[in-house]
């Protein structure tokens, strides 16, 4: 059975949830540190919605994570002439 790659939303959700738990934070505690609502954190951890880069940055800062964005062309477009 082939592995199905996780969507960026699910990857972010998993990373945020794991890190929050490692730090012993509740969703409400993380929300307070990141300047958002507990519902917003719950949606982020569920992989729902489209969080802004600003929100992702605030959450990363609260979790002592570095946000790094890679913007590159799809491999298919590199081969087009």
DSSP H or E run through 60? helix 53-62
User: What pLDDT, on a 0 to 100 scale, did the predictor assign at position 77?
Assistant: 60
Cβ–Cβ < 8 Å for 42, 27? yes
Q: What is the pTM of this model?
A: 0.81
Rounded Cα distance, 79 and 62, in Å: 40
> What Rg do the C-alpha atoms of the chain give, in angstroms?
15
Domains, the chain, ordered by start: 8-78 (1.10.260.40)
Rounded Cα distance, 51 and 79, in Å: 32
Rounded Cα distance, 51 and 54, in Å: 8
* Whether residue 64 has pLDDT greater than 80: yes
User: What pLDDT, on a 0 to 100 scale, did the predictor assign at position 6?
Assistant: 85
* Whether residue 39 has pLDDT greater than 80: yes
């Amino acid at each position: 059975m082939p592995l199905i790659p996780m969507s960026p939303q699910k990857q972010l959700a998993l990373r945020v949830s794991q890190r929050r738990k490692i730090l012993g934070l509740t969703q409400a505690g993380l929300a307070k540190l990141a300047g958002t609502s507990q519902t917003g954190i719950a949606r982020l951890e569920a992989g729902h919605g489209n969080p802004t880069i600003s929100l992702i940055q605030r959450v990363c800062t609260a979790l002592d994570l570095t946000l790094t964005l890679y913007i590159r062309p799809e491999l298919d477009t590199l081969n087009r002439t």
